[in-house]
Amino acid sequence: MATTAMVAAATIALGACGGGGGGGGTASGGGFVDGTEVPVGVEQGIKDVIAFARQLIAATSETSEPVLLGNAKLATSESDEPADL
């Protein structure tokens, strides 16, 4: 439950970032890739992928539930510099 709330908070935060890059996903009503707990932004921009990963790391504990990744396709970049998580 807590993980779902954290993912929802990350979605709101990522929605404010805007994103960029190509690609796309299919959004369900809550801004997630259909059939996943992954915000749509992670399919659209590498900055959203990094923000989502950092959010998941911050929320990780021994009791946290796994996040449903399904068939989400994370954005990649050939030009962005590597980022610390």
The per-residue DSSP string of 62-76 comes to: TTPPPP--TT-----
Q: Which neighbouring-strand residues pair with 32? A: 39
- Secondary structure class of 25 (helix, strand, coil): coil
* φ/ψ (deg, to 5) at 33: -65, 135
pLDDT score, position 34: 94
pLDDT at residue 10 greater than cutoff 60: no
**Which residues constitute the domain of residue 1?**
1-85
Please give the tally of structural domains in the chain. Answer: 1
pLDDT score, position 50: 95
pLDDT tens string 21-73: 444 444 444 499 999 999 999 999 999 999 999 999 999 999 999 999 999 99
Higher pLDDT, 63 or 17: 63
Higher pLDDT, 79 or 5: 79
pLDDT score, position 4: 52
> Which residues of 1-85 form beta strands (DSSP E)?
none
Report the C-alpha gap between 46 and 42 in whole angstroms.
7
Of 48, 51, 57, nearest to 75 (Cα)? 48
Tell me the average pLDDT across 71-77. Answer: 94
